[in-house]
Amino acid sequence: MHPNRALIGVPGGRADLATPALVLDLAVFGRNVATMAAATRASGLALRPHAKTHKCKAIAARQLAAGAIGLCVAKTGEAEALADTPGLRSLLVTSPVIGASALARLAGVAARVPELLVAVDSDAGARALSAAASAAGVRIGAVVDIDPGIHRTGVPGAEAAAALAKSVANLPGLWFAGLQCYAGHAQHIEDYAVRGEIAAMALADMATAAALLRADGLPPPLLTGGGTGTFAQEAGLGVLTELQAGSYIFMDVEYDAVALEAGGAGPFGAALFVDARVISANCADFVTVDAGYKAFATDGPKPKVAGGAPAGSEFAFMGDEHGAVFAALPLGALVRLQVPHCDPTVNLHDVIHVLDGDTLVDIWPVEGRGRSA
Amino acid sequence: MHPNRALIGVPGGRADLATPALVLDLAVFGRNVATMAAATRASGLALRPHAKTHKCKAIAARQLAAGAIGLCVAKTGEAEALADTPGLRSLLVTSPVIGASALARLAGVAARVPELLVAVDSDAGARALSAAASAAGVRIGAVVDIDPGIHRTGVPGAEAAAALAKSVANLPGLWFAGLQCYAGHAQHIEDYAVRGEIAAMALADMATAAALLRADGLPPPLLTGGGTGTFAQEAGLGVLTELQAGSYIFMDVEYDAVALEAGGAGPFGAALFVDARVISANCADFVTVDAGYKAFATDGPKPKVAGGAPAGSEFAFMGDEHGAVFAALPLGALVRLQVPHCDPTVNLHDVIHVLDGDTLVDIWPVEGRGRSA
């Protein structure tokens, strides 16, 4: 049993948390979920949130209950972990899956969900997916991934996309489910207008590919992509039919640094933090807390002090297990730190502590944690 | 069941691993364990390896079987996870533990191991530890932590250490077990001589504190500290009675960058890697593999290509789930990547795949993974 489970429902129980603890402000999270659901509904887009952000069935179920038409995952292991989320009708694996054992596992997931969609970006990959689906007696929707200019995955350009779409449409065990283009390189561009231009450039190939396929009698059922950093702009382009945003539920220091609406901070609030505790206080300038590289992702900005210390107090990493908070605080004090980059930070933690103010109301397992394979 | 478990014992089964997979070269690992055991024995030091590196009972048991006198852990959760390691007689928690619930859990660990030692660096912390031990009816050895100059944890200087030692010796439920000083800031200094000087400066306070306490009739039973980067130098100083090194079992890109012996690379070999798979190959300059920020620590250097691609091929991160390997490789090919910083990389993975050549011989759970609280 998790050491913090005994605190559930205890008023003010947050003070006694075993730390470091990944904590969710339930009220802010709930507003973020509702806000994105309303925004996509208003713009005529379907919402298929990316679950690589949270890897958590309790969160996925809340997104689906708020109107999401399905989920995205990045990897086979995540698909396995989240396949039985209540309310899940359609699951999209957004990266190509290669390798016989992984493909056999994907076919197993296809038998557990009403609809499984998988990104493909090569003829060889599509043929292997087809073979796995056929062998298992299932049908999988192939989504042709278009390179937005990152060169990470995807076919290069509209004509290659249309050609691969026609190819998968003829493969046994597969059906052509649509096109995907995710402008990951645009999401954190600081200038709102430039960010929109980059996203639009990426989606131009998708629009052309869709037109080619419509003209050839193979209209793409889905046009999927987009992220938290570009959703407002992409909604206005009229290309996508559904949005894959993930980080909007938590927000993080990285997304807080860019304006998500023209001239404004955007409609989402910071909901995910690590509560850490002062475990050494022998220095004049700072105290040491019990959270370091094993509690926060380190690929982006630093964690940001969000409570428990004077506003503007800085955090610095002090190795694997510890951090410094530049403030005068007593031993045992709790410091709240906004997570720097949410996806890989969640991936460090087995559970999410759900807080209503200072009361722990639930502990949600992160079922997909570490399921990168 | 882990998806790779079916491959155990299959000759050449590595080719079919679900990837990314954290893999251990068993032969190199075994040599590293034996080499450090022999080196510490030859220098008259006891070896108490730091298990925060591996968090794995199977590895801890092998270190103990090779002659280690006990283990270090960094956190309460690790102590709980590793307490029943076969052969474990003495367990040292190397960071101060603060907070009533964590202290109660520590007292629970004390009832499960022959000897539990815990670092303290404040009177208030020692009194809280004493209260928890007394309440549980156990005795805990308090190890006075001395600040080596990092200001992360520890009391400042020899006199403060001696004073705290005398204080803990009189507290119910505690006994004075010794002094700790870990020169973490010296470990990765490139110049061998400078590294040795920094380590020696840090240990000077410990030597003075020990002399003060001997003169006062309270000789410290243990003088514990040291790391993989400084073990050869610290062994020659005659201060420490035991060595806490951890990373020597795996080696990583970070430790490979420094010479561990005067004029030489040192006696340890790289044993820990992530095997990743090519999942997209649509570009001329590089291929995309299925390992990114969620498979490697990002606080240090980059992962290093160690097999499956031409020597010298570079790796670059491509986000949470992917990396680029600058080589021409076919879809499905395996690339072996040496881990950049071993401790926080292991902390991302639930299991370690144990390889004898290309045959998977076992899968070891990482029981302490994520147990930072």
Does residue A104 register a pLDDT over 80? yes
For residue A160, give the chain B residue with the closest CA. Answer: B282
Q: What is the pLDDT of residues B9-41, one digit of tens each?
A: 999 999 999 999 999 999 999 999 999 999 999
Cα distance between residue A89 and residue B149, in whole Å: 57
Chain A residues inside the 8 Å CB shell of B365: none
Residue B185 backbone dihedrals phi, psi, to 5 degrees: -75, -15
- Per-residue model confidence as pLDDT tens digits over A132-177: 999 999 999 999 999 999 999 999 999 999 999 999 999 999 999 9
pLDDT (0 to 100) of residue A231: 87
How confident is the model over A14-59, as pLDDT tens digits? 999 999 999 999 999 999 999 999 999 999 999 999 999 999 999 9
B320:A344 CB<8 A: yes
Instruction: Indicate if B14 and B34 belong to the same structural domain.
Output: no
Cβ–Cβ of B288/A153 closer than 8 Å? yes
Q: For residues B47 and B186, state if they share a domain.
A: yes
- How far is residue A93's CA from residue B160's CA, in Å, rounded to a whole number? 58
Averaged pLDDT of chain A = 96
Write down which residue in A182, A217, A252 finishes a domain.
A252
pLDDT of residue B188: 87
Spacing of C-alpha A48 from chain mean position: 10
Min CA distance, B362 vs chain A (Å)?
18
Cβ-nearest to B282 among A122, A278, A348: A122
Average pLDDT over residues B73-102: 97
Chain A residues whose CB is inside 8 A of the B74 CB are 320-321
Residues B244 and B119 in one domain: yes
- CA triplet B288, B294, B299: central angle to 5 degrees? 105
Domain match, B200 and B309 both: no
Mutation target for A interface from B23, B72, B98: give the one with most A CBs within 10 A: B98
Return the pLDDT at A236.
Answer: 85
Which pLDDT does position A263 carry in this prediction?
A: 74
Q: Are B42 and B74 found together in one domain?
A: yes
Of the residues A196, A226, A252, the one at which a domain ends: A252
pLDDT at B277: 98
Residue B290 and residue A75: Cβ atoms within 8 Å? yes
Tell me if A372 is assigned to some domain: no
Q: Would you state the pLDDT for residue A282? A: 97
Does one domain contain both A154 and A228?
Answer: yes
Q: Is the pLDDT of residue B260 over 90?
A: no
Percent share of chain A, pLDDT over 70 = 100
CATH number at residue A297: 2.40.37.20
Residue A371: inside a domain, yes or no? Answer: no
Shortest Cα distance from B23 to chain A (angstroms)? Answer: 13
| pLDDT of A262 over the 80 cut | no
3-state secondary structure chain B: CCCCHHHCCCCCHHHHCCCCEEEEEHHHHHHHHHHHHHHHHHCCCEECCECCCCCCHHHHHHHHHCCCCCEEECCHHHHHHHCCCCCCCEEEECCCCCCHHHHHHHHHHHCCCCEEEEEECCHHHHHHHHHHHHHHCCCEEEEEEECCCCCCCCECCHHHHHHHHHHHHCCCCEEEEEEEECCHHHCCCCCHHHHHHHHHHHHHHHHHHHHHHHHCCCCCCEEEECCCCCHHHHHCCCCCCEECCCHHHCCCHHHHCCCCECCECCCCCCCEEEEEEEEECCCCCCEEECCCCCCCCCCCCCCEEEECCCCCCCEEECCCCCEEECCCCCCCCEEEEECCCHHHHHCCCCEEEEEECCEEEEEEECCCCCCCC
- Amino acid (one-letter) located at B262: A
Is A288 inside any structural domain? yes
Q: For chains A and B, what is the number of CB pairs under 8 angstroms?
A: 204
Cβ contact A105–B319 (<8 Å): no
pLDDT at A257 over 90: no
Q: Chain A closest CA to B42's CA: distance in Å? A: 31
In a domain, B357, yes or no: yes
Q: Name the residue facing A373 among B18, B95, B298 (closest C-beta).
A: B18
pLDDT of residue A339: 98
**How many degrees, rounded to 5, is the angle at CA B169 between CA B166 and CA B173?**
150
Q: Which of B199, B221, B253 is at the close of a domain? A: B253
Type of residue found at A104: A
Taking only the tens place, the pLDDT of each residue in A335-349 is 999 999 999 999 999
> For residues A185 and A118, which has the higher predicted lDDT (pLDDT)?
A118
* pLDDT attached to residue A190: 86
- Closest-CA distance of chain B to residue A154, Å: 8
Tokens 């005994």 — which residue?
A6
Min Cα–Cα distance to chain A from B325, Å = 11
Residue range B180-238, pLDDT digits in tens: 999 888 888 888 889 999 999 999 999 999 999 999 999 999 999 999 988 888 888 99
| Best residue in B144, B146, B289, B299 for a mutation probing chain A (most A CBs within 10 Å) | B299
The radius of gyration computed from the CA coordinates of chain B, to the nearest angstrom, equals: 22
Residues of B within 8 A of A18 (CB-CB) are 76-77, 99, 101-102, 105, 373
Chain A CB contacts of B319 under 8 Å are 152, 184
Give yes or no for a cis peptide into A11 (omega within 30° of 0): no
In a domain, B258, yes or no: no
CB contact under 8 A, A319 and B184: yes
Residue B75: list chain A partners with CB under 8 A.
290, 321
ipTM of the complex: 0.96
State how far residue B100 is from chain A, nearest Cα, in angstroms.
7
The confidence score (pLDDT) of residue A261 equals 78
Domain assignment of residue B9, yes or no:
yes
Tens-digit pLDDT profile for residues A51-84:
999 999 999 999 999 999 999 999 999 999 999 9
What long-range pairs does B298-301 form, CB within 8 A, spacing at least 24?
A: B298/A297, B298/A298, B298/A299, B298/A344, B298/B340, B299/A293, B299/A298, B299/A317, B299/B341, B299/B344, B300/B252, B300/B253, B300/B254, B300/B340, B300/B341, B301/B253, B301/B254, B301/B257, B301/B340, B301/B341
Chain B contact set for A341 (CB, 8 A): 293
* Minimal-distance CA residue of chain A relative to B294: A344
Check residue A16 and give its pLDDT: 96
Residue of B nearest to A344 (CA): B294
Partners of residue A20 in chain B, C-beta under 8 Å: 372-373
Q: How confident is the model at residue A355 (pLDDT cuts 50, 70, 90)?
A: very high
Query: Is the per-residue pLDDT at A204 higher than 90?
Result: yes
Q: Looking at the predicted structure, is the pLDDT value of residue B351 above 90?
A: yes
Do B147 and B194 belong to one domain? yes
Structure confidence at residue A274 (pLDDT) = 98
Its domain, for residue B276, covers 5-24+267-365
Question: Structure tokens of A44?
Answer: 């005529």
Q: Are strands A140-145 and A115-120 parallel, antiparallel or unpaired?
A: parallel
| Closest CB to B3 among A105, A331, A341 | A105
Q: What is the pLDDT of residue B119?
A: 98
- Answer yes or no: do B236 and B164 share one domain: yes
Both A243 and A304 in a single domain?
no
Residue A256's pLDDT band, with cuts at 50, 70 and 90, is: confident
* Residue at A58 is within a domain: yes
pLDDT tens, A297-317?
999 999 999 999 999 999 999
pLDDT-derived band at B263, boundaries 50, 70, 90? confident
Residue of A nearest to B53 (CA): A320
B358 CA: distance to closest CA in chain A (Å) = 17
Contact (CB<8Å) B319/A282? no
Q: Residue B37: inside a domain, yes or no?
A: yes
Q: Are residues B249 and B271 in the same domain?
A: no
Classify the C-alpha dihedral A39-A45-A49-A50 as positive or negative.
negative
Gap from A97 CA to chain B (nearest CA, Å): 6
Residue B238 shares a structural domain with residue B298: no
pLDDT of the residue at B264 = 76
Same domain? For B226 and B114 the reply is: yes
CATH number of the domain that A40 lies in? Answer: 3.20.20.10
Number of domains in chain A: 2
Instruction: Check B279 against A151: CB less than 8 A apart.
Output: no
Residues of chain A positioned with their CB less than 8 A from the CB of B324 = 152
